[in-house]
């Protein structure tokens, strides 16, 4: 069937009725209108997920859709990413299976504005992994703790806002750690920028953090009495400023029970829980402390909880003055207003530290006790770009975070796209995009950025205010294209700005910030004296540093994205607000991402996947293709009439330039499926009729009585339609046919080798369980045949290879690549050893030798040497001279990094200053050498795999360091700090095995 016919013929398949499942396949991919039309069309049909390549766009439906059941999880487990309709389960499964197969680390960035469904998306991914991962009693405990960390963090870190009843008021990054079998064995959580100001102030229509209301409404009577609390939120100033302590969508009593249960399972002790809620209660009591002005205008404490130390802390400013070498404590009384600031600063500091302690306790519970290296999937649930009527310090930090993530997002997307093209041998066409580095620099540049200027105002002596900060900004930022204030604006723009505002032109659009409160929030009054005595870091600088750390973490992992959208402000189901969604599409960079993904080719698939789906369209490839998948695809597209400019053949994938080419292929496939079903039905019916006829002839039954049997029947078609349902009268005969057909094809295509992991036929759903059992039996059979046929020498080599796997699998980055190489122990032999050296050490029995580069202990100059292992010692040799002998009894261990470099450090017992210290070596045959030394010394635990840095002894009392890190290229140099810096390409392959 030629595609030129189908390209001009309108086909009304389900694909067209519900829009395009992958935006990459939009013909008008540069049109924002076409993008919105497709999004709206799918949303109106309750299809809330759409792809942009592997990026998932999710629109909050604000109603239950029944698409997150265990049955749905089973459907998406182990299925090709694009085989089923878009779903968050498909993305989660693909990330998990890629991690398992490639043994590398990944992260899922979930972003969107408050109320778009980020927190729910994060929980859904966690629940999917809880179901799909291997299960044991120990692993179930880890799974339960991972899942139950969510309600605890939500209670202490989430709150009702104007946009969302369960808004995360902190950023959260969670690493889920998996072992080599794919079991979840631990986790670790990092938190960012908790909105502490919410503890002491809430806007109208908003609440404080959930935990306060849960404690007051749900806490047991005895607990409340012990804490001195009443069961009435109206009694506490910190809980009623938003005038909405009760929220219809929130059940504080029920949530309290959930949190109590979660704390127990996460292994908080009774004493920990008591202390935790005593601190939460103390914050509520602190909020009720109030001050009155004295006759002199100073603050006096007026509270039933009055105590001397509290009065001193909250109503006076304490400073240290030096006179005649004596330190004097000077007390300056606060005004009533100043004392309220101090009270609120103390409450925020207490809650902030409590939240940090809580996260650390959860991490202790989630910690993986096994020291072997694990692969991880990170989940980043971060606050989205925020624009309110009044935007303050919190929104400034949040939007700066989104600027940084957008920068990373574009970099990683461009990088991964370009790398795929290069890897496949396809020419890359550069993509124009907006580089928001100019905005990031505006905020974070050292000495010149907004954060630096803010810090200067916070830390300088004298009377600094929010408005002196604004004046400094106007002085330093004058003329910047992305910054404007009332003073700097043109007359028209000036009308939209207050005198205390500054406006930034972010990548997502303009945001106007009020400087009121910037200094206080960046530099809590509680610490104003502390900073004069010792080092002090402001909130903005801490946040900037933590963002830099987060970026470093993410850059070492493979990225996946979930972009969450709010369809309307009112949280109404079935309502799609075009203006609001269009704005989110812009600031989430979806059109930009789409343009990057469409740079050249709209569609790309591995040859095996493409051939499997469309092979029925060509008589040469159907039903079985005997050649390579690439050859099969070439034959198939030639038959379909693809033009040369419509596709490119990569090394492992076919690249199709235009969506219309793929759609024409899909339309041909739809027609072909119906034709195939008709042919199969006719063949099967003939098979049944013939069998029934034969049976009745043998039984002597009058065929006339069987006339009814020969009438046309739809049972086969009905069985095909119901093939995925439980066995019934409607589908039992069809399923029997499917079983027989699969077993017949399997018999003719059984793998011939243990290493053949790909040719086992994919079973139909009805045969999945049987296929697993049959595959295990067949694997045991060919393993048994293989074991019987190996020689004694091969057996020894396999044992050594197993030892190498035991030492390095899942622990050193380039081990997986080394496994596929054929060489095992490239033994250089005695002929490579100088004759004089050979005469000296030959009596000890030479076991192995290998060329190495030795780095001097002081200057790290490289020297070519030979490393020789005998039965008794390791020798470092320079031509005819033995430079160092290390008895195995004095060998303390061998350190190697977990990255893809080929360095090793031999640690030697060194008690005499005249003795030589540890050896820093570089070896091209690293895995061979390390395995051999373990065999010779009979110590399989000799190797220590480390992260980051290795300390070594230059000589007794003098130490050196080797630092390891990943980058785009390999380098070895002496760093400014005097350490030897070893830089290796990520997942590079330097060694042989």
Q: Which residues are annotated as a binding site for ATP?
A: 112-119
To the query of whether residue 386 is one of the catalytic residues in this protein, the response is yes
- Catalytic site residue from 124, 168, 375, 522: 168
Q: Any idea what DSSP says for residue 706?
A: G
Set 124, 150, 164, 818: catalytic member: 164
Among residues 154, 195, 386, 394, the one annotated as catalytic is 386
Q: Taking Cα atoms as reference points, which of 493, 503, 595 lies closest to residue 52?
A: 595
| Phi and psi angles of residue 699, each rounded to the nearest 5 degrees, phi first | -85, -5
C-beta of residue 38 within 8 angstroms of C-beta of residue 659? no
Q: Are 407 and 555 in contact (CB under 8 A)?
A: no
Asked if 513 contacts 395 with a C-beta cutoff of 8 angstroms, the reply is yes
Helices H, strands E: what count in the chain? Answer: 34, 31
Active site residue 167: yes
Order of strands, sheet of 483-485, starting from the edge strand that comes earlier in the sequence: 483-485, 501-506, 509-514
Distance separating alpha carbons of residues 982 and 974, to the nearest angstrom? 9
Q: Which of 543, 569, 423, 738 is nearest to 115 (CA)?
A: 569
Rounded CA gap, 773 and 778, in Å? 9
Is 282 annotated as catalytic?
no
Distance from CA of residue 510 to its chain's centroid?
A: 30
Does the active-site annotation cover 38?
no
Q: Whose CA is closest to 660, among 50, 6, 1, 41? A: 6
**Would you call the peptide bond into 623 cis, given omega within 30 degrees of 0 as the criterion?**
yes
Other Cβ atoms closer than 10 A to 832 = 13
How far CA 888 is from CA of 391, 454, 652, 935, 940, in Å, comes to: 67, 60, 48, 12, 13
Task: Identify which of 363, 368, 396 has the alpha carbon closest to the alpha carbon of residue 177.
Answer: 368
Find all residues with CB under 8 Å of 691, minimum gap 6, and list them.
Answer: none
Tell me, yes or no, if 392 is annotated catalytic: no
Which position among 58, 94, 114, 436 bears the catalytic label?
A: 114
Distance between CA 103 and CA 452 in Å, rounded? Answer: 41
- Beta-carbon contacts of 709 under 8 Å, excluding residues fewer than 6 positions away, are 689, 692
Half-sphere exposure of 168 (CA within 13 A, CB side): 29
3-state secondary structure 332-401: EECEHHHHHHHHHHHHHHHHHHHHHHHHHHHHHHHCCCCCCCCEEEEEEECCCCCCCCCECHHHHHHHHH
Contact 908, 918 (CB under 8 A): yes
Count of CB atoms situated within 10 Å of the CB of 765? 12
| Catalytic member of 157, 187, 378, 384 | 384
Contacts of 871 (CB under 8 A, 6+ apart): 844, 845, 847, 936
Whether the Cβ atoms of residue 616 and residue 676 lie closer than 8 Å to each other: yes
- Integer-rounded Cα Rg, in Å, for the chain is 34
String of DSSP letters for 572-590: -TT---HHHHHHHHHHTTH
Tokens 């079998």 sit at which residue? 181
Neighbours of 363 (CB within 10 A): 17
Question: Would you say 96 and 377 are in contact if contact means Cβ atoms under 8 Å apart?
Answer: yes
In the numeric block, which tokens belong to residue 875? 């020798």
Of the candidates 119, 122, 354, 522, the residue annotated as catalytic is: 119
Residue 19, Ramachandran bin (φ over 0: left; ψ between -120 and 50: alpha; else beta): left
From residue 776, give the alpha-carbon distance in Å to each of 78, 742, 809: 18, 17, 23
Alpha helices in 617-658 (DSSP H): 629-640
By residue count, the chain amounts to: 993
384 as an active site residue: the answer is yes
116 CB contacts (<8 Å, ≥6 apart)?
A: 58, 60, 384, 564, 565, 566, 584
Kindly list the catalytic residues: 114-115, 119, 164, 167-168, 384, 386
């Amino acid at each position: 069937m030629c595609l030129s016919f189908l390209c001009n013929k309108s086909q009304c398949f389900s694909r067209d009725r519900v829009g395009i499942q992958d935006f990459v396949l939009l013909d008008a991919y540069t049109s924002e209108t076409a993008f919105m039309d497709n999004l709206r069309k799918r949303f109106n049909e309750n299809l809330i997920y759409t792809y942009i390549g592997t990026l998932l766009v999710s629109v909050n439906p604000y109603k239950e859709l029944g698409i997150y059941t265990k049955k749905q999880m089973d459907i998406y487990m182990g299925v090709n990413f694009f085989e089923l309709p878009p779903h968050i389960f498909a993305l989660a499964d693909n990330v998990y299976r890629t991690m398992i197969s490639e043994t590398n680390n990944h992260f899922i960035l979930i972003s969107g504005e408050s109320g778009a469904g980020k927190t729910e998306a994060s929980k859904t991914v966690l629940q999917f992994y809880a179901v799909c991962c291997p299960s044991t009693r120990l692993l179930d405990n880890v799974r339960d703790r991972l899942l139950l960390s969510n309600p605890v963090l939500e209670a202490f870190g989430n709150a009702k806002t104007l946009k969302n009843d369960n808004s995360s008021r902190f950023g959260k990054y969670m690493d889920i750690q998996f072992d080599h079998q794919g079991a979840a064995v631990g986790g670790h959580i990092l938190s960012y920028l908790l909105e502490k100001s919410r503890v002491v102030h809430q806007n109208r229509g908003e609440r404080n953090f959930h935990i306060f209301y849960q404690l007051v409404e749900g806490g047991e009577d005895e607990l409340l009495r012990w804490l001195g609390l009443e069961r009435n939120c109206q009694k506490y100033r910190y809980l009623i400023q938003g005038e909405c302590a009760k929220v219809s969508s929130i059940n504080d009593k029920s949530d309290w029970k959930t949190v109590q249960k979660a704390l127990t399972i996460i292994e908080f002790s009774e004493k920990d829980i008591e202390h935790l809620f005593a601190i939460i209660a103390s914050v509520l009591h602190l909020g009720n402390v109030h001050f009155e002005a004295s006759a002199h205008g100073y603050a006096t404490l007026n509270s039933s909880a009055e105590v001397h130390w509290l009065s001193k802390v909250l109503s006076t400013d304490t400073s240290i003055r030096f006179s005649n070498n004596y330190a004097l404590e000077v007390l300056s009384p606060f005004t009533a207003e100043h004392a309220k600031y101090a009270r609120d600063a103390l409450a925020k500091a207490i809650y902030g530290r409590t939240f940090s302690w809580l996260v650390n306790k959860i991490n202790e519970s989630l910690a993986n006790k096994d020291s072997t290296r694990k692969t991880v999937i990170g989940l980043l649930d971060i606050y989205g770009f925020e624009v309110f009527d009044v935007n303050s310090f919190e929104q400034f930090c949040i939007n700066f975070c989104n600027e940084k993530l957008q920068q990373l997002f574009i970099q990683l997307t461009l990088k991964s796209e370009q790398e795929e093209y290069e890897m496949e041998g396809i020419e890359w066409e550069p993509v124009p995009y907006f580089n928001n580095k100019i905005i990031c620099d505006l905020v974070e540049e050292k000495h010149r950025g907004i954060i630096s200027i803010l810090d200067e105002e916070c830390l300088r002596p004298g009377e600094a205010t929010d408005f002196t900060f604004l004046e400094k900004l106007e002085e330093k930022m004058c003329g910047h294209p992305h910054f404007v204030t009332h003073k700097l604006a043109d007359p028209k723009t000036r009308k939209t700005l207050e005198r205390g505002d500054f406006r930034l032109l972010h990548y997502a659009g303009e945001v106007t910030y009020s400087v009121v409160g910037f200094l206080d929030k960046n530099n809590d009054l509680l610490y104003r004296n502390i900073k004069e005595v010792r080092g002090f870091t402001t909130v903005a600088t801490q946040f900037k540093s933590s963002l830099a750390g987060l970026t470093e973490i993410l850059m070492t992992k493979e990225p996946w994205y979930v972009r969450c959208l709010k369809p309307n402000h009112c949280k109404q189901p079935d309502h799609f607000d075009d203006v609001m969604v269009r704005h989110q599409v812009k600031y989430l960079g979806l059109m930009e991402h789409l343009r990057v993904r469409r740079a050249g080719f709209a569609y790309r698939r591995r040859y095996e996947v493409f051939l499997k789906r469309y092979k029925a369209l060509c008589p040469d490839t159907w039903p079985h293709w005997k050649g390579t998948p690439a050859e099969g695809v070439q034959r198939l597209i030639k038959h379909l009439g693809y033009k040369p400019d419509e596709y490119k053949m990569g090394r492992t994938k076919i690249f199709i330039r235009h969506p219309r080419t793929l759609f024409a292929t899909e339309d041909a496939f739809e027609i072909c499926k119906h034709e195939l079903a008709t042919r199969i039905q006719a063949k099967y019916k003939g098979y049944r009729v013939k069998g029934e006829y034969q049976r009745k002839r043998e039984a002597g039954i009058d065929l006339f009585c069987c006339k009814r049997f020969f009438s046309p029947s739809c049972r086969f078609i009905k069985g095909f339609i119901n093939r995925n349902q439980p066995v019934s009268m409607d589908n039992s005969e069809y399923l029997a046919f499917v079983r027989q057909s699969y077993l017949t094809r399997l018999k003719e295509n059984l793998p011939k080798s243990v290493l053949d992991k790909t040719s086992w036929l994919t079973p139909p759903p009805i045969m999945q369980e049987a296929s697993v059992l049959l595959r295990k039996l067949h694997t045991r059979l060919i393993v048994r045949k293989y074991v019987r046929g190996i020689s004694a020498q091969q057996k020894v080599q396999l044992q050594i290879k197993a030892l190498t796997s035991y030492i390095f699998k899942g622990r050193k980055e380039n081990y997986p690549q080394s496994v596929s190489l054929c060489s095992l122990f490239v033994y250089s032999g005695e002929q490579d050893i100088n004759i004089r050296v050979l005469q000296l050490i030959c009596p000890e029995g030479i076991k192995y030798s290998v060329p190495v580069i030795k780095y001097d202990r002081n200057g790290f100059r490289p020297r070519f040497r030979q490393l020789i292992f005998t039965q008794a010692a390791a020798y470092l040799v320079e031509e005819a001279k033995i430079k160092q002998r290390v008895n195995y009894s004095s060998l303390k261990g061998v350190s190697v990094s977990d990255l893809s470099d080929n360095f090793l450090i031999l640690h030697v017992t060194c008690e005499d200053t005249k003795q030589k210290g540890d050896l820093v070596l570089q070896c091209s045959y690293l895995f061979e050498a390390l395995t051999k030394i373990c065999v010779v010394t009979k110590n399989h635990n000799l190797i220590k795999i480390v992260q980051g840095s290795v300390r070594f002894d230059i000589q007794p009392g003098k130490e050196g360091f080797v630092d390891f890190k990943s980058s785009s290229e390999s380098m070895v140099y002496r760093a400014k700090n005097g350490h030897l810096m070893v830089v290796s390409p990520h997942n590079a392959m330097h060694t042989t095995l």
